[in-house]
Amino acid sequence: MSTLTLKVEFGGGLELLFSNQRVHNVTIPSTMLASSKDWEATSNDPANVTYLLHWLKDNLLKEREELFLEGDTVRPGILVLINETDWELLGEGDYVLKDKDEIVMISTLHGG
Amino acid sequence: MPSKTCVLCQKANAILKRPKTGQQICKECFFTVFETEVHNTITTAKLFKPGDRVAIGASGGKDSTVLAHVMKTLNDRYNYGLQLFLLSIDEGITGYRDDSLETVKRNQIQYDLPLKILSYDELYGWTMDAIVEQIGRKNNCTFCGVFRRQALDRGAAMLEVDHIVTGHNADDIAETVLMNIMRGDIARLGRCTLICTQGEDTIKRSKPFKYAYEKEIVMYAYFKKLDYFSTECIYSPDAYRGHARVFLKDLEAARPSAIIDIIHSGEAFEVAEDVKIKDQQTCQRCGYISSNELCKACALLEGLERGIAGMGIKERRRLEKAAPAPENLRTIPVFPRAPKSNEKLPA
């Protein structure tokens, strides 16, 4: 099974849901076929960011899933950058991941 | 997906979609427009004059950290002629404020600004830890809110500043507009969108980030690699605000202009003349500005000292009638402002 290696970084308090660790190097399947607890990926399409979000929820998230995902996307108020670019410029969840991509997620919901 | 070109400079790759305008812009143009908009907010509202002493309310969180950075940058770039200070309030919350104050201490060095830390313990004789121990986690945010507001004013008087700036952003103000509407708090609804407020003898307070979106503040901090602290307070969060916040974020996801639209709606409300707004007086105990005989902080402090703070209103009234307040209650220290060096003392 071919895989992708990604660097995932959490900030703004989001890291608290992920073992209080900011940077995680993860290896995920390069297609969406792999089993996922509650996300039925039936296609053989290449892994995109939506797939990564579910993969993170199933494999890395330690607590309070509702503070991370809402439906198939991040909870409103969480910013996502892909290789230092706002994911809103890259198709958000539909962005197809490449090996060595760097994903940063920052919560804006924590105190000022 | 091919990278997009910045709509402003037409050269560099865009890295951000602005929530306010939908424009796709590059990093350098983002820094420029963000800083310039704050500068325009400051100059349009004529917030400062040369020589003003200005305290930045600094919590170590994202908003105040970015505010300190931007205030320092703009003061240097546009020669505002301001003397800037960092003012932090230590509520006495172990595992939360003690950590965030470490961030403020690093900011003091990074930005080369003088720092004053004033604690609840010093002012009121109570830390939030001690208050929560006595009253539990139900109304503690009320105490903290009232105590913080007064602590900032008193700390500002100690620093002899003319003006306090806080990191309240457009999202915060839109949330407050919604909350005031939902509570029918007309007096606050009228005030909450003002960029600058000033009581009779209290120091001016203003919000240079009134029109700055939280998304852009966080992106600015990220791209500038600013050092900020982001942990939720360990005591129960303000649940009512939490609901308003989630609602607002959902609206923003559907239509990013919602935040500015709500602020404009708040500004457009006119408070009818027959809505009674209480006259201001001074607190009979500590002299702080107040709409009652006792200011809110003194009233809350008295409840704490007499061990009746956690009681219901009825029970408390009964007890207050049965026994008048003891004579030796703690008086919150007031720091009278010394006359400025450029003001002439009476002979």
More confident residue, B311 or B9: B9
Q: Is B195 annotated as a binding residue?
A: no
- Residue of chain B whose Cα is closest to the Cα of A95: B1
Q: CB contact, 8 Å: B250 with chain A?
A: yes
Contacts of B148 (CB under 8 A, 6+ apart): B89, B91
Q: CB contact, 8 Å: B232 with chain A?
A: yes
- Residue of chain B whose Cα is closest to the Cα of A78: B215
Q: What is the pLDDT of residue B304?
A: 86
The C-alpha angle with vertex A68 and arms to A62 and A72, in degrees rounded to 5, equals: 120
Angle between helices B296-305 and B128-135 (to 10 degrees): 60
Q: Is B347 annotated as a binding residue?
A: no
pLDDT digits (tens, 9 = 90+) for B224-253: 999 898 877 777 666 788 888 889 999 998
| pLDDT of A8 strictly over 60 | yes
Which of B218, B219, B245 should be substituted to probe chain A, the one whose Cβ sees the most A Cβ atoms within 10 Å?
B218
Q: Taking the domains of chain A in order of start, what are their residue ranges? A: 3-107
Q: Give B174's pLDDT tier (boundaries 50, 70, 90).
A: very high
pLDDT digits (tens, 9 = 90+) for A9-67: 999 989 989 999 999 999 999 888 655 545 555 567 889 999 999 999 999 998 888 88
Alpha helices in chain B (DSSP H): 27-44, 62-77, 97-111, 120-124, 128-135, 140-158, 170-183, 186-192, 214-223, 239-254, 258-268, 296-305, 313-322
ipTM given for this complex? 0.91
pLDDT digits (tens, 9 = 90+) for A62-103: 888 888 998 889 998 899 999 999 999 999 999 999 999 999
Q: Is B125 annotated as a binding residue?
A: no
Nearest-CA distance from A42 to chain B in Å?
Answer: 24
Half-sphere exposure of A37 (CA within 13 A, CB side): 9
Residue contact A81–B222, C-beta within 8 A: yes
Chain A partners within 8 Å of B216 (Cβ) = none
Which contiguous run of DSSP H or E holds residue A59? Answer: helix A49-59
Chain B partners within 8 Å of A75 (Cβ) = 249
CATH 3.10.20.30 corresponds to the domain A3-107: yes
Nearest-CA distance from A26 to chain B in Å?
Answer: 22
Chain A partners within 8 Å of B217 (Cβ) = 108
Q: Is B172 annotated as a binding residue?
A: yes
Chain A partners within 8 Å of B169 (Cβ) = 112
Q: Give B220's pLDDT tier (boundaries 50, 70, 90).
A: very high
Separation between Cα atoms, residue B22 and residue B19, nearest integer Å? 5
Q: What is the pLDDT of residue B270?
A: 74
pLDDT digits (tens, 9 = 90+) for B64-117: 999 999 999 999 999 999 999 999 999 999 888 888 899 999 999 999 999 999
Identify which of A12, A81, A89 has the shortest CB distance to residue B230: A12
Q: Is B63 annotated as a binding residue?
A: yes
Q: Is B325 annotated as a binding residue?
A: no
More confident residue, A109 or B214: B214
Q: Among candidates B343, B340, B169, which has minimal Cα distance to B262?
A: B169
| pLDDT of B293 strictly over 90 | no
**Per CB distance under 8 Å, which residues of A are interface residues toward B?**
11-13, 16, 75-77, 79, 81, 84-86, 88-91, 95, 104, 106-112
- Residue of chain A whose Cα is closest to the Cα of B168: A112
CA B151, B154, B160, B165 torsion-angle sign? positive
More confident residue, B308 or B60: B60
- Residue of chain B whose Cα is closest to the Cα of A17: B231
Q: What is the pLDDT of residue B109?
A: 94
Q: What are the structural domains, with CATH classification, of chain B? A: 46-230+241-272 (3.40.50.620), 282-326 (no CATH)
Residue contact A11–B222, C-beta within 8 A: yes
Q: Identify the DSSP state of B5.
A: B
